[in-house]
Amino acid sequence: MTHPLLRFAELASQDPDALAVIQGDHALGRADLIGRAGALAQGLSLASGARVLVQLPNSPDMMALVLAIWAQGGLPMFLSAKSPATHLDAIIARHAPAHVIDIAALEALPAGQASLDLPVLPGDADASVVFTSGSTGMPKGVVQKAATLTSGADRVARVMGYGPSERILVPVPFAHDYGWGQMLSCFIGGHTLILPSRDSLVDISRTISRDVPTVLAGVPSLFAGLLHGISDFENSQTDSLRIVSSTGSPFAPALYAALRTRLPDVRILRNFGLTETYRSCCLPPEMAQGEADSAGRPIEGVTIAIAGPDGRPLPADQEGEVVHLGAGVFDRYLDDPDATARSRRTCGDLGIGVFTGDIGRLDQDGFLHLAGRRDRLVKSMDIRLNLSDVEAALTALAMVTETAVIARPNPMSGVELVAFCTARPDITAPDIRRAANRALPAHMRPREITVLDALPRTPVGKTDYPALANWSASTQKETL
């Protein structure tokens, strides 16, 4: 399988002027991006195998930098530009990158363009390290081989129904595995990437009108912000859009319905996968009507199994841990063989797979139904529940737009539920409390409800549960 760098170089030789990336008034063709990579490579001077930690916001130069690192035999490692200093310090201490490229370091590299020498790069070479979001702890570095990345981008393009030359709007960070997948769509599929100039909902909405994307790749929190936040999305010219693709957190039914109302002629594809699996399942709109609560079916090349406590596959409709097998399985966690062995192991006679930590079941038709994370199962009033179910029930209330729920130790009852909600205008915590008391059974009712302007996010847009746990002790917001 061709290395992504060599695939992009081949695409550039076939059509050097084809647009690779647009950001505001800055546009680079394929040959321009190769030339920019050549100049950056001259400034890097990497030893073969050198680890380069990239901590940058999305930009054409970040894309060129990845090509430059590959061309010198280096290994790009991605950490969000919004990650806390504690994450950066821990990664540097543990993994010893040869270089850390942030905005200042990038600006110190050569400007302009130069030729790029293409080395021999085998498909089994380490090609990327993406650090997990750290939403439940310190991030782990997920290593993927070149062939896995090339295969993943090709397979996803077929699942999405991409044409030969899509224009993909990418408002998610390249440092997130989903954003990294979009960059690979350019390198491997030759699609044009459109990058917002600023990290704001208003700029994303304006970019849709100005740069006429055909694909919008996002996450549920982004779509919630576009629909319900200060975004001007209601005035965006969306006629060019034909595909919306989402992954990350679960897509609440009300949010999905609202997005379909705003974009009635657009195919909305919901996806499931981990950094460790590239992409696992997809639920296209033609399957969504009868399977609204499903994560979809496995994509091309993937097998999904449900494992019991002994690690062996379970029959259909039995609940257990979701295991991803086949294409997309990550190679290892960087410098962490123990964590690799816990996640990447044998599932009965099916072979090596990724034990995802998600709880779910496969129905008789092969659709995956998720019940939540293994680490979000608690007992409330001696009844087992998943905190994700409480979140879904609260978000289903008409007055609530988004919810996060944590479990807090209680010396009397063992555990109590604490909910953080964003709400429609003029809605208060007592309003939500009264509605929740009517709609939810006693064991699912939060002991405490806090109304926030917005939920805290990790650098890649997921709910920051550790921040909420710290916040619950001394919130300054309206609390009941």
- Written as six digits, the tokens of 392 are 């879904």
Indicate the range of 114-118, 234-238, 442-446, 471-475 predicted with least confidence: 471-475
User: 112-128 burial string, b = 16+ CB within 10 Å, else e?
Assistant: ebbebeeeebebebbbb
pLDDT bin (cut points 50, 70, 90) of residue 187 is very high
- For residue 46, what is the DSSP state? P
Yes or no: say if 331 and 317 are a contact pair by the CB < 8 Å rule.
no
Residue 313 clears pLDDT 50, i.e. is over it: yes
Q: Which two structure tokens, joined as six digits, stand for 399?
A: 């007055």
Nearest one of 329, 51, 409, 2 to 189, comparing CA atoms: 2
Is the model's pLDDT at 124 over the cut of 80? yes
Q: What are phi and psi of 177, to 5 degrees?
A: -60, -30
The number of C-alpha atoms within 13 Å of 374 and in the hemisphere containing its C-beta is 15
**Sheet of 414-423, strands arranged across:** 400-410, 414-423, 448-451, 478-479
Phi (first) and psi of residue 242, to 5 degrees: -125, -15
Among left, alpha and beta (phi > 0; psi -120 to 50; other), residue 124 is alpha
Decide: 99 and 44 in contact? Cβ < 8 Å.
Answer: yes
What residue spans define the domains of the chain?
A: 4-362, 381-479
Residues 58-97 pLDDT 10s: 999 999 999 999 999 999 999 989 887 888 999 999 999 9
pTM: 0.84
Reply yes or no on whether the pLDDT at 137 is more than 80.
no
- Which of 279, 130, 264 minimizes the C-alpha distance to 217? 279
d(CA 259, CA 290): 18
Please, what's the b/e burial string for 256-271 (b: 16 or more CB within 10 A of its CB; e: otherwise)?
bebbeebbeebbbbbb
The per-residue pLDDT of the chain, averaged, comes to: 91
CA dist., res. 263 & res. 283, Å (int): 17
Q: Is the dihedral of CA 387, 392, 393, 398 positive or negative?
A: positive
pLDDT digits over 12-32, tens only? 999 999 999 999 999 999 999
> What gap in Å lies between CA 436 and CA 64, rounded to an integer?
51
Domain 381-479 has CATH 3.40.50.1970: no
Structure tokens at 404: 């996060």
CATH H-level superfamily of 4-362:
ANL, N-terminal domain (3.40.50.12780)
Q: Is the pLDDT of residue 288 over 90?
A: no
In this chain, the answer to whether the domains covering 4-362 and 381-479 adopt an identical fold is no
User: Dihedral (C-alpha) 75, 80, 86, 91: value to the nearest 10 degrees?
Assistant: -10
Q: Answer yes or no: are the C-beta atoms of 464 and 456 closer than 8 Å.
A: yes
